[in-house]
Amino acid sequence: MKLNLKGKLLLLTAIVCLIGIIVSPFIIDREINKYIEQISTEVTVNIDVINNTNDEVNIIEDNGNIIVTVDEESTLEEKTDLNINVRVISEVGLNIRENPTIDSEIVGTYSYGESVNVIEDEGDWYKTNKGYIYKEYVN
């Protein structure tokens, strides 16, 4: 079979494409392995700090080292341990929140007039055995 110039160019193009299809996975694999080597040195660390004082704990990363410091002159709002009862004065009840913020998830409610035992005073919030309540709605 004799090919004209157009046929030879088409055959050459097909061969080049076939070589590219055969070789490209190896090139791609090599590039992926380079990327994996680069990111494999990055580490994510979850640290839970149990701080029974009101001291501020600072955790920083410095050139691959984790440094933990404790600031004894903390600016954190002090918590006051209590054991008092308050009564809900909101006629529609009072939401119990998971954390002492208005955006925190609601985990329950107290009814109007219900007596609630407060165990901690945290600024504008009281902590109960069920979660946090906003002080404005109790007396």
Token readout for 60 is 């920083």
User: What pLDDT sits at residue 62?
Assistant: 66
Consecutive 10-residue runs of the chain (139 residues): their mean pLDDT? 74 72 64 62 56 62 66 52 86 94 94 92 91 94
In this prediction the pTM is 0.44
User: What pLDDT sits at residue 12?
Assistant: 76
Token readout for 119 is 């165990």
User: What pLDDT sits at residue 29?
Assistant: 67
- SS3 annotation, 30-89: HHHHHHHHHHCCCCCCCCCCCCCCCCEEEEEEECCEEEEEEECCCCCCCCEEEEEEEEEC
Task: Map tokens 């209590």 to a residue.
Answer: 82
Beta bridge partners of 85: 117
